[in-house]
Structure 1
Amino acid sequence: MNGAAAACEWHRRPAYGKDRRRGCGGLEDAWGASSGRSLPRLRRKCAAQLRDAPLKNLPIASKLLLAFAIALLALIALGAFSVSSLSIAAERADYIGRDQSQKLVVEDDLNTATSDYGTAQANIMNASTPEQLQIAEQALASRGAAIDRDIAWLGPRLVSAGPRKALETMKAEWNAYTATVQPITALVRAGRHDEAMARYSATRHLYNRGNTATSAILTMQKDNMVKIAQEVQDTYVRTRNWMIGAIVLVSSIIIVLLVALVRSIATPLGTVTTGLTELATGNTAVAVPDDDRRDEIGNLARAMRNLRDQLDAAERAKAEQTTLIVDSVGRGLEALAQGDLTARIDTELTGPFAKLRENFNRALSAMGDAMRAVTEATSGINSGASDIRQASDDLSQRTEQQAASLEETAAAMDEITTTVRQTAAGAVKANSAVEDARVEAEQSGGIVSRAVDAMGGIERASNEISEIISVIDGIAFQTNLLALNAGVEAARAGDAGKGFAVVASEVRALAQRSADAAKDVKTKITASTQQVEAGVQLVSETGAALNRIIGRIGEISALVGEIAKAAESQATGLQQVNTAVSEMDGVTQQNAAMVEEATAAARSLSAEADELARQVTRFKVSHERPAALTPASPVHDLQQRAAEAGRRIARATPTRRHGNAAVALAQDDWSEF
């Protein structure tokens, strides 16, 4: 550990925890007194490690939770600010779109109504017939009622001082005007047009003041809406700027957290990983970084340090164990080279080397058992050689009996040859019948193929019908949509479109029934298509089955032909067998000479067995050599098995006699063989 790390480690101890500054300064004084120089660099390192110690010693899970909690809180604050700003903007927009726009519409209607009222009053003055006068009076009354209604609606809704004062002025001016012009209608009815015209001219200035007040209200409302719209725009710009600043701030916080996490987790973890990689390559001298941390990385570093120490200890133990194994196995192999099969590895070995010791001792035990078995087998070989000589004499006697059996065998082979020829003739007839069956099966396969093609045509026609039904369904849907649109337009037309609406409703109902019928037909066509597909599949499987049957019939035909050829070949072969039986008689005579040679070989075998016994005696297989056991002669066992086989053949084969050669297996005695 370097000086700065030691200083900060000393500073973190509990004894100096109450006064960190005094503790670090005292250590610096001691360090400076011992080294004779100032310690600004030590002071900076100590301060940096003390500052980073809380974050470095936190568990990784706590670091991640802390980082994500800070980022989440920043995002929540940003979201809350955005929602609040958007709510304010939405309220102002709703205020403009609903309240102010309604006021503007009513004020515009009021302005129009005052103009129409003046026009109606002029129409009364210009009416030349009672009908025109009545129409003008109705228009005047209607516009007057509209003006009163609009004034009554605007009264409680105009909260601004300017528009409210303009409305009061307009109301006073208009009431004065209407009170003055009301007698004009009566004068016109009475035919006093000159007096009516004079009164009408005298009231024009009142009408103009009322109309001007109405225009002033509309102008003020428009100006107010422009002002509110500008306020909304200002709010939007201000909110946008605040949100951009908040996003930049949150992004900066997240970037700082990511950098802190990388420096606190990723960088130390990479250093520890590099050390572990070096350790895995066998470099046990690698340095262990960050083992003073109190988080998971510190635990990993301390575990790496323990692993390094354990690997060093394991290497030393392995070297000691290897030396012990080489010495123990070397002594055992030296004893084995001298022929001592009783030597064993008695040294205690551990780990996988204990298995080596056990296998070595077991191998020597197995070799000792093998040598004892070889020693015991030597006497058995000598006894077997004598039995072989005796068996050779018996074999020469049996050779004569084999010659008689061969003659009887030749007669039986003649009968078998005749039977095989009859079998060949029957195979030819069977081949002809199989060929006829194959031709009929191929014709059936052609019929099935044409049926598959016909079913395919039906399937294609069904698919085309389904497509036509889909087109009809689409046309019905479009007709239904057009009828719906026609109904909507008829509803807009009012009473004039009622008849057209009824027709559109009927067309829509007809289009719906057409669509339902098309869907029903399409469903049935789909079901029919699925059944056709199932039929095509079944017919295809039938065609495939017929093709397999044709193939099998072809194979049977080939097999029957081969049987016929084989029967002919067997007849020829049996003739050759007859010849071979005659040759076997000569071979039997040669067997007698071979028996003599076998006797000489048995004598040589006995001599080799004596030499083998002499070589085996040089091996030490036990501390006290046991007496050799004489095993039963294998030749006697062979004689017993041969006699038993002869008796089974005698029971299964009846006695047959041909000419002068007679073989009676049931009465033959094989016990001497």
Structure 2
Amino acid sequence: MLALIALGGLSIFKMNSLAGAAQQLGVVERDKLTAMGELDAAISDFRSAEGLVIIGTLPDEKKIAIDRVKGADATIDRQLTFLSGTLANPVSKTRLKEFADNWRPLRQGANETIRLGLANQNDVAGAQYLDELKPFMTAAAAVDTMLDNQKALSQTRADDAKALAGTAKTITIVATLIVLATLGFLLFMLIKGIARPVAAMTAALTELGRGNLAVAVPVDARKDEIGDLATAMTALRDQLSAAERAKQEQTTLIVDSIGTALEQLAKGDLTTRVHADLTGPFATLKTNFNAALDEVSSVMGAVSEATNGINSGAADIRQASDDLSHRTEQQAASLEETAAAMHEITTTVRQTAEGANRANVVVDETRIEAQKSGDIVSRAVEAMSGIERASAEISEIISVIDGIAFQTNLLALNAGVEAARAGDAGRGFAVVASEVRALAQRSADAAKDVKTKITASSEQVDIGVGLVGDTGKALTRIIERVTEISSLVSAIAASAEQQATGLQQVNTAVGEMDNVTQQNAAMVEEATAAARSLAVEADALAREVARFKLGNTVAVRAAPVVHQLQARAASAGRAMARPVRRAGGGGSAAPKSDDDWSDF
């Protein structure tokens, strides 16, 4: 065990050493090589960018070259700082110092060369650029030497790590072999000291589980846990043997007592009981068996009584179902007749509503025509008024003409008088005056005659205007009455429509009641069939119960409950029927028995 611990510690130490070497080689040395490579590349980039500043002709080219110079210079400074803090090899540190000593003056000269190149003094700058070649080569050679030395150091460290890995592998293999040998030895001792005895006792327990109580338990003179387990198994075997003998005795007693009782029970004798003296848990079995038979006997007695009650109730239900089916059929027929009558009434009311609607339309048309007649009469009244005004104007004109004729007659008379005075010279003028006078007289007579006729016409027009006015008033009253009649007819039509709608709803309700009644009739038929099936099943149950021999047990009386339910149903039916009789006319009916289900 100590050797295993030592090997494990040595393996851990070597693995840690290998991890450190891998860390050193994979990270530290790699970073150094990377820094040196970037330093070498930055020197070359700085030198080439410096040359581009000198030979460049365009400002953009010179600007790009300056940016490259600045980037390379920054990289060189960064890598110098990194390598100064990480290099540990004396040769590498010496080469790094050599590079730094050559680089500082070289960079100062390069700055001057770049300044001359930017000032387009290319000849001077080119000569100075060539003078910097030797220091540049010296610095580059120092970097190359440092890089080669670092590569050699990395290879050496890789070889050391490889050797360390080989050593760790050898130690691991040796430790694994030692552990396997130790485990083999321990396994052999475990099988010899524990597994074999446990396997033997397991086989003995398997035999005990199969019921072999004569199996031999392998007991050695051992004082350990295996010996204690063997002793306990021996005691368990002896106890199981004693329990098996007691079980056999109890089994014989149970078969003799309970077996006989079960045989009698199988024959239908529910009065049999177990009287044997059983002990232990079998005494409880005896008590429970006898109590169960008491309960079964009581239940079977109750079932017998209930079967009788079911028979009686099924007969009553069948009779009630038949009565209910008969009444349902009568009700269905009455509802069918009622539905037919309601349908006819609905049709009649619908026709009445349609006639009222048509009458309403006719009255509306009559009212419109009366209104048109009223308008015509109004226009006739206006025309009569115009005629009356024209007649008055004509009378005034005739009066003027009559006045003119009177004046003309006077003038003619004066002319005749003057002509008579003139003698023969005025005779012709007298003739003319006589003719004018005669004409004026005829004009006056004609004007008087026209005035008389116009006066008579005016009186007739006045009478016509009065009559037309009366006609307009009569038409107005007729329009009012027609409007009132139209409103009444509209109300009658609306009422008839509402009555038709209500009767349609009543007809629908009656139809639904008819359907429900038909469904109730079908359900009554199903209930009757179920009652008959119940009676058949109750008879079968009674025959099955009759097979058992029952003791003097008191059963639950079920039949009186059924008759009480019948009496309650009959009383409820009579209570519902009395208001119907009073509503139907107050006639008295013959009293019926409480068991008559026709009132249900």
TM-score by length of 1: 0.33
Greater RCO (CA < 8 Å, at least 6 residues apart) = 2
